């Protein structure tokens, strides 16, 4: 056998090996994808439509929180907060936590009546659960 024939044969073997490995990876990806979408291990495709983050009792409450405007109450209820469980007095610890999480300027804006955003909610959620 000449060196040219050996070289061609080697290229064919390498090409076949590469194609085989890529085919196995593709097949494994397809199988994993089918398994993922049928078993939903991360519960990303929750098919329950009757689940609401806010109970009907909370959504129709007439509770007037002393530190929240009606718009702020409505916004927090949409995010799933039961405003009746929020603190009704602001302790120095709660105030310091809110300033740490949101920043002093945002805390002042919220005190002035600005609507809380989803970002505000998720950043300050730990502060609101302080007892």
Q: What is the 3-state secondary structure (H, E, C) of 3-68?
A: HHHHHHHHHHHHHHHHHHHHHHHHHHHHHHHHHHHHHCCCCCCCCCCCCCCCCHHHHCCCCCCCCC
Q: What are the residue boundaries of the structural domains of the chain, listed by start? A: 1-48, 56-128
Provide the pLDDT confidence category of residue 47 given band limits of 50, 70 and 90: low
Give the residue among 104, 101, 94 at the shortest CA–CA distance from 67: 94
Contacts of 68 (CB under 8 A, 6+ apart): 76, 83, 86
Mean pLDDT, the chain, integer: 79
pLDDT digits (tens, 9 = 90+) for 70-104: 887 887 788 777 778 777 777 888 889 889 988 99
- Cβ atoms of 53 and 80 closer than 8 Å: yes
d(CA 98, CA 129): 11
pLDDT at 60 over 80: no
């Amino acid at each position: 056998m000449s060196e040219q024939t050996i070289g061609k044969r080697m290229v064919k073997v390498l090409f076949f090996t590469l194609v085989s490995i890529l085919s196995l990876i593709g097949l494994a990806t397809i199988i994993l994808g089918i398994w993922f979408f049928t078993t939903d291990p991360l519960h990303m495709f929750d098919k329950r439509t009757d689940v609401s983050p806010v109970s009907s009792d909370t959504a129709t409450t007439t509770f007037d929180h002393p530190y929240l405007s009606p718009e702020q109450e409505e916004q927090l209820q949409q995010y799933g907060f039961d405003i009746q469980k929020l603190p009704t007095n602001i302790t120095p610890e709660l105030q310091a936590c809110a300033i740490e999480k949101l920043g002093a300027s945002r805390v002042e804006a919220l005190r002035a009546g600005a609507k809380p955003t989803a970002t505000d909610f998720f950043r300050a959620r730990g502060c609101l659960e302080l007892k």
